[in-house]
Amino acid sequence: MHLGIDSSTQSLSGLVINGTTGEIVAEKSVNFGSDLPQYGSPQGFLPGGIDGEVHANPCMWLAALDRMLLELGKLVDLSKISTIGGSGQQHGSVYLNASASERLANLDPHSDLVSQMQSVWSRGTSPIWMDTSTGAQCRQIAETMGGDAEVCARSGSTTIERFTGPQIRKFWQQHPESYESTSRIHLVSSFLCSILAGCHAPIDFGDGAGMNLMNLASRQWDSELLEATAPGLRMKLPELSAAGSVVGAVAEYFVIKYGFSPECRVGVFTGDNPASLVGMGATSPGQVVISLGTSDTFFAGMTQAFTDPRGFGHVFGNPGGGYMCLVCFRNGSLAREALRDQYGLDWSAFDRAALSQTHPGNQGNLMLPFFGPEITPRRDFERPVRQGSEAFVSGGNPDLQVRALLEGQFLNMKLHTDWIGIHVDRILLTGGASRNDGIAQIVADVFGAPVERLAIANSAALGAAILGAVTAGHDMNAMQSKFCHPAQDSRIEPTPGISYDAALSAYAELLEREI
Ligand code: ADP
Ligand code: XUL
């Protein structure tokens, strides 16, 4: 059996698969907000950050790992797990001092992870992907490199505020002494992998590409990008390696505390989106995945690496080989939740509003669906922008508001993914909100393509488990054909005779005017 661990924005999940029978054996999720309220992070991050700063407490991820394994051990015999694969929310970084190596190698099973890691942090909190505070650092790095086109050609993305390089530069500028005392900087993925393996684990080519530091062509750290980012950075970064390659045996802590076999091996972790690509069975080019998690993301395998001329899209390493493209929208579930709460609705009201109470095109009522800063397109919105009837613009009629939000989100997605040039003839939908039929119907209508969902909404955890199977020597494609089937009756066809061409132009015009 293989265990996949996914540490995403709002929860940490474990999912166990049997690679021989094709069975999903057990699944357990720990929600940071509701299960670990002591960390004061109802949505997975510390509220109240100023000037676009969004940080999380890395202890919370450790507490969640301990909790998840304790609960999972009640559902499945952990001694039967032969390999562990994993993934983490992308871009987030963890800063450790020189004592970390020894600590990792000597974790005491009679204590817990949080108390033992207390003295290893060189930075108490971790900037995560929602952070938009590094505009100045992005400009400085781009300037040193001779322009953003050069950064993009090397790393697969222009300088991006949430990407780890600009975040590291800001840390060095604001806290040079703490930066100096940092001996290793991990991503969320490689950090959790290091805990499990009891030694510093590598970063994979998928998550590594989300840092503005990795050279996409050579799959090595790019010396010039490192130099343009912060002094002495090379020494502080882990090695780069392929997702799923063996890191080593699981640390004794997990053997004694949770009953893992000492033979159990840990593979290199990746980012949650690359893991989702694996878990959706979409690593081979030709398929499009839309993930509706905390963020909404649009991604697909690519045969060749080419980049977004407008700079919103990214190219990452694909855990199945080659490349993947990705476009991320910050106002995903958090915006849907904000509108839901503002109107006192529940998710079934979203279903009803989208399926029976309103019509495609929403009688011309349009919304720029941003409740906070957006990254695609980049702008510090504070509230949505409405255009349409007086009643709608003044905030009336919840059903129209729901449809306007959803149509706005997917029109915005369509507008900002056309550069990829993929003919979308089927969409694989995943993430927490994908189970909502109303939302799925609007995706199908806006893109004019059928939508399919897998039985498992948490495709990142499934992808992580499949990467675990790859660590054990299984073929990724064979595992994908075993596990990645659309759920029965999950297919949603686009409504016949509907076109969103006019709505897309109207949306583009409104956006142009407001930006
Ligand atoms: P992440 O991986 O980013 O932590 P998930 O993929 O687990 O996020 O998605 C969690 C989100 O899914 C929740 O915050 C919630 O907003 C949304 N969600 C869950 N169920 C529904 C539903 N039935 N309809 C719409 N959204 C939903
Ligand atoms: C991708 C991104 C988010 C995070 C959290 O670039 O920032 O999707 O990976 O899910």
Q: Report how far ligand 1's centroid is from the alpha carbon of 175 (Å).
A: 35
Contacts of 431 by beta carbon, 8 Å cutoff, 6+ apart: 276, 291, 292, 293, 296, 333, 457, 459
The ligand 2 atom nearest the CA atom of 90: 9
* Confidence tier at 308 by pLDDT (50, 70, 90): confident
The ligand 1 atom nearest the CA atom of 333: 16
DSSP 195-232: HHHTSPPPEEHHHHGGGT-EETTTTEE-HHHHHHH-TT
Q: Under a CB-based contact definition with an 8 Å cutoff, are residues 316 and 326 in contact?
A: yes
- Which of the listed CATH numbers 3.30.70.260, 2.170.120.40, 3.30.420.40, 3.40.190.80 matches domain 2-274? 3.30.420.40
The ligand 1 atom nearest the CA atom of 457: 6
pLDDT of residue 366 exceeding 90:
yes
User: Looking at the CA of 350, which ligand is closest?
Assistant: 1
Question: Measured between alpha carbons, how far is 276 from 284 in angstroms, rounded to an integer?
Answer: 13
* 3-state SS string for 112-171: CHHHHCCCCECCCCEECCCCCCCHHHHHHHHHHHCCHHHHHHHHCCCCCCCCHHHHHHHH
CATH class entry, domain 281-453+485-515: alpha beta
* Confidence tier at 221 by pLDDT (50, 70, 90): very high
Query: Residue 16, SS3?
Result: strand
Contacts of 202 by beta carbon, 8 Å cutoff, 6+ apart: 190, 238, 239, 240, 241, 245, 247, 268
The whole-number pLDDT of residue 414 equals 97
Q: Report how far ligand 2's centroid is from the alpha carbon of 256 (Å).
A: 34
Q: Report how far ligand 2's centroid is from the alpha carbon of 495 (Å).
A: 30
* Confidence tier at 307 by pLDDT (50, 70, 90): confident
Q: Under a CB-based contact definition with an 8 Å cutoff, are residues 61 and 12 in contact?
A: yes
* 3-state SS string for 331-380: CCHHHHHHHHHHCCCCHHHHHHHHHHHCCCCHHHCEEECCCCCEECCEEC
pLDDT of residue 489 exceeding 90:
no
Residue of the CA atom closest to atom 13 of ligand 1: 432
Percent residues over pLDDT 70 in the chain? 100
Question: Measured between alpha carbons, how far is 430 from 234 in angstroms, rounded to an integer?
Answer: 36
Q: Report how far ligand 2's centroid is from the alpha carbon of 502 (Å).
A: 30
Q: Report how far ligand 1's centroid is from the alpha carbon of 293 (Å).
A: 5
The whole-number pLDDT of residue 469 equals 98
**Mutate which of 328, 417, 459 for ligand 2 pocket (most atoms within 8 A of beta carbon):** 328
Distances (CA, A) of 154 to 146, 163, 273, 298, 477: 12, 14, 21, 22, 29
What residues does 288 pair with on adjacent strands? Answer: 300, 427
* Confidence tier at 456 by pLDDT (50, 70, 90): confident
pLDDT of residue 421 exceeding 90:
no
Q: Report how far ligand 2's centroid is from the alpha carbon of 289 (Å).
A: 14
The whole-number pLDDT of residue 88 equals 98
The whole-number pLDDT of residue 89 equals 98
Residue of the CA atom closest to atom 19 of ligand 1: 432
CATH 3.30.420.40 domain locations along the chain? 2-274, 281-453+485-515
* Confidence tier at 396 by pLDDT (50, 70, 90): very high
Percent residues over pLDDT 90 in the chain? 93
**Region class of 431: left (phi > 0), else alpha (psi between -120 and 50), else beta:** left
What residues does 378 pair with on adjacent strands? Answer: 375
Q: Report how far ligand 2's centroid is from the alpha carbon of 515 (Å).
A: 23
The whole-number pLDDT of residue 19 equals 96
The whole-number pLDDT of residue 359 equals 95
Report which of 84, 79, 92, 82 is spatially closest to residue 32, judged by C-alpha positions.
Answer: 92
The whole-number pLDDT of residue 355 equals 86
Q: Report how far ligand 1's centroid is from the alpha carbon of 414 (Å).
A: 21
The whole-number pLDDT of residue 199 equals 98
Instruction: Give the mean model confidence (pLDDT) for residues 17-43.
Output: 97
User: Who lines ligand 2 at CB under 6 A?
Assistant: 8-9, 89-91, 129, 162, 210, 271-273, 293, 295, 297, 326, 328
* pLDDT single digits (tens) 77-98: 999 999 999 999 999 999 999 9
* Confidence tier at 333 by pLDDT (50, 70, 90): very high
* pLDDT single digits (tens) 92-151: 999 999 999 999 999 999 999 999 999 999 999 999 999 999 999 999 999 999 999 999
User: Who lines ligand 1 at CB under 6 A?
Assistant: 8-11, 293-294, 333, 336-337, 347, 350, 431-433, 435-436, 439
Report which of 89, 469, 477 is spatially closest to residue 301, judged by C-alpha positions.
Answer: 477
The whole-number pLDDT of residue 460 equals 97
Report which of 434, 427, 436 is spatially closest to residue 458, judged by C-alpha positions.
Answer: 434
What residues does 17 pair with on adjacent strands? Answer: 2, 24
Question: Measured between alpha carbons, how far is 299 from 293 in angstroms, rounded to an integer?
Answer: 13
* Confidence tier at 244 by pLDDT (50, 70, 90): very high
* Confidence tier at 261 by pLDDT (50, 70, 90): very high
**Mutate which of 31, 162, 294, 441 for ligand 1 pocket (most atoms within 8 A of beta carbon):** 294
